[in-house]
Structure 1
Amino acid sequence: MLDRTSQGAATPSRSTEWPTVILAIVIHGGFLALTWWWQSLPLIVAVLAGGWLIAWHGSLQHEVIHGHPTGSQAINDAIGSLPLSLWLPYPIYKEGHLEHHRDEYLTDPIEDPESSYVTKAAWEQLGAAGRLLARWNTTLLGRLTIGPAVMLLSFLGQEWRLVRANEPGRRLIWATHGIGVAVVLLWVVIVCDLPLWLYLGFVYAGAAMTRLRSYAEHRYAENHEERTAIVENSHLFGLLFLYNNLHVLHHRRPGISWYRLPTVYRHEREMLVRSNGGLVYDGYWDIARRFFLKPHDDPTHPRHS
């Protein structure tokens, strides 16, 4: 059994979860195989497969943050620490994601590190061009195309300011992360002779797939329990996202292992749908139908001036 802490972490108190261990082997093994034999694949297949594996690895990182698959968080962190995406240090992701699990602050652009909203003051500072891009980024097409670039540039700019200000521990995190990135690129570029531009294509495709998952996960509502969505009937993307598409259940009980989420959801569906105010989508095609060229929400948060 796993207990939930105040920030949504799982306290390991059980034996090793072998499905997740096998999953980690499949993801890392698939990455090694793809980068080794990439030249035998059509370019588009290589990019899609690379994006899938990098996004899948991000889903695995999310799983280990919540205390899986072993009773040792140090081992769990080691499983998720390899920076296949290049841009996101695992310790920063872990810290920010656990803060995100303070559900009373969900969507708040100040308190929730994963919020897609901005304050009205920040909105005014964007300027006309920035506001145009921000509005485009609220459509699904925008989120899949410019969304990864917006996310990466915003994150790296913020981190650069923290590093320059000598935020305690930040320089060490980035130095350690740099070593991991060097190891990944040594394998990819030197050993496998995979062009850096192509690997960056893998990274961008993976970020786009991840942005699909997060696009409609949350929206502001007065009741914080109604700020988290459910995406049903998504078998392929459900596997890619390790069933994090059943997002209300994950937020209510973040200690549940990914492979148990569908069964638990089926048993508790009525209660979960009632608790989130019926914020349910019938697969990602339903989200695309509604929001492909239409904004999911106003980018400014209604509670911040």
Structure 2
Amino acid sequence: MGLRHPSEWRTLFLLVAVYLGWGLLVWNPVNLPLGLQVLLLIPLITLHSSLQHECLHGHPFNNQPLNDALVSVPIGLFIPYLRFKRAHIRHHHQAELTVPGDDPESWYLTPNNWRGHSRLMKTLLTANNTLAGRVVLGPFIGLPTFVRSDWTQPGARWVWIKHLFAVALLLTGLNLLAGLPVWTYLLAAYGGYGLLTVRTFLEHQADKDPRARTVLIEDQGWFSLLFLNNNLHAVHHAYPNVAWYDLPDLFARNRGRFLALNRHYHYPNYRAIWRSYAFRRKEPVVYPLVSGLPTQATVTPASPPTHFDADREGAL
């Protein structure tokens, strides 16, 4: 039941800070304006999502059910933590990165799926491949896609039903006890989800070399804290057991090696990404490596592993 490492106090501190900050914002004892409440809730919800990612990788305790319990409170509303955990473990250990239908975190479409969309949806999907479009449209497009694919998986429906019940209780409590309108919190949760897509926007790209599919962004500012250094995504994929606070030092000591391994799929910071792709599409919507696609247009994700070894090292 103990901490994995004494330095995991940092993760615990952040968890406590997020929940305390969230509680103060929704209770609002200083009577902040409603708009400011929403704006402050958005990054807290995003940071909670980053902590969910940290906990599913085996932090901060040696006991995984305890780690799961710490971040299962559905303050982000839209996705059950256990379903996100299942999809993300598959992303690391079973999927071929970026391949639609195989990688549950891929934003690419197969040619058949693309042809099946209306002209309006194709326009939205194309806008979604700009950074500004991803922040605004990403939750609107990504959530229904995730729900449709996840709903068919064994045991998923019961998890979703329990999640929706917990969300209903949360929203009711916020409205009755804290006086926070439901639509306001829905807006904050959508914004938190949208802000998270700044990280996921280009963390993987289709490339014939699998090692070149995972990005390195050397941002050391606000976004690196918000995403718990997961901007060093190639490092995380190589060593998924390493805690968020150790990733920068691991990268700094092996910078040349990591850049060579991921074929310099690299950006200096998020400002550079915004300047390049705020309103310009970075990737095609249709998966460009057609020869790497599964034989079927739509592939049902496989069942999750029966256990997750948090100390397993992955590959770029």
Uncovered stretches (5+) of structure 1, i.e. residues with no partner: 1-11
Instruction: Say whether 1:62 aligns with 2:53.
Output: yes
Answer yes or no: is 1:285 the counterpart of 2:275.
no
Report the count of equivalent residues: 289
Name the residue aligned to 1:101. 92
Check the 8 A contact 2:95/2:102 in 1, yes or no: no
Report the counterpart of residue 132 of structure 2 in structure 1. Answer: 141
Residue 152 of structure 1 and its aligned partner are, at CA, apart by 1.9
Per the alignment, in what secondary structure is the counterpart of residue 254 of structure 2? helix
Residue deviations 1:151-205 (CA, integer Å, cap 9, x gap): 1232234445x2xxxx531232123213321342233111101001110111011
In the other structure, the counterpart of 2:4 is 14
**Is it true that 1:72 corresponds to 2:63 in the alignment?**
yes
User: Which residue, out of 156, 174, 177, partners 1:191?
Assistant: 177
State which of 61, 79, 97 in structure 2 corresponds to 1:88: 79
Q: For residue 294 of structure 1, what is the aligned residue in structure 2?
A: 280
Q: Which residue of 2 aligns with 1:7?
A: none
Aligned partners of 1:85, 1:222: CA distance in 2, in Å?
A: 35
Inter-partner Cα distance in structure 1 for 2:70 and 2:14:
11
User: Separation in 2 of the partners of 1:216 and 1:170?
Assistant: 28
**TM-score, length of structure 2 as denominator length:** 0.87
Q: Which amino acid aligns with 1:116?
A: W
Counterpart residue number, 1:263: 249
**TM-score of the superposed pair, with normalisation by structure 1:** 0.90
Please tell me the root mean square deviation across aligned C-alpha atoms, in Å: 1.8
Residues 136-215 of structure 1: pairs in structure 2 closer than 5 A? 136-160=127-151, 162=152, 167-215=153-201
Structure 1 segments, 4+ long, off by >4 Å, are none
Report if aligned partners of 2:95, 2:103 keep a CA contact under 8 Å in 1.
Answer: no
The whole-number CA distance in structure 2 between the counterparts of 1:26 and 1:13 is 18
Q: Quick one: which of 241, 252, 260 aligns to 2:238?
A: 252
Deviation for aligned residue 1:131: 1.1
Secondary structure in 2 matching 1:172: helix
| Residue 102 of structure 1, CA deviation | 3.1
Please list every run of 5 or more consecutive structure 2 residues that lacks an aligned counterpart in the other structure. Answer: 298-316
Q: Distance in 1 between matches of 2:132 and 2:219?
A: 21
The aligned counterpart of 1:9 is none
Greater alpha carbon shift after TM alignment, 174-183 vs 201-210? 174-183
Instruction: Report the 3-state secondary structure (helix = DSSP H, G, I; strand = E; otherwise coil) of the residue aligned with 2:88.
Output: helix
Shift of 1:103: 7.5
| Counterpart contact for 2:4–2:59, Cα < 8 Å | no
Q: Distance in 1 between matches of 2:270 and 2:29?
A: 29
SS of corresponding position for 1:60: helix
1:35 counterpart residue number: 26
Deviations 1:85-121 (Å, cap 9, x if unpaired)? 1110111100000111137600011110000101000
- Provide the secondary structure at the position in 1 that maps to 2:267: strand
Report the residue type matching 1:51 in the other structure: I
Query: What SS does the aligned partner of 1:40 have?
Result: coil
Aligned-pair distance for 1:38?
A: 7.2
**Structure 1 or 2: more helix by fraction:** 1
Identity level (%): 35
AA aligned opposite 2:112: A
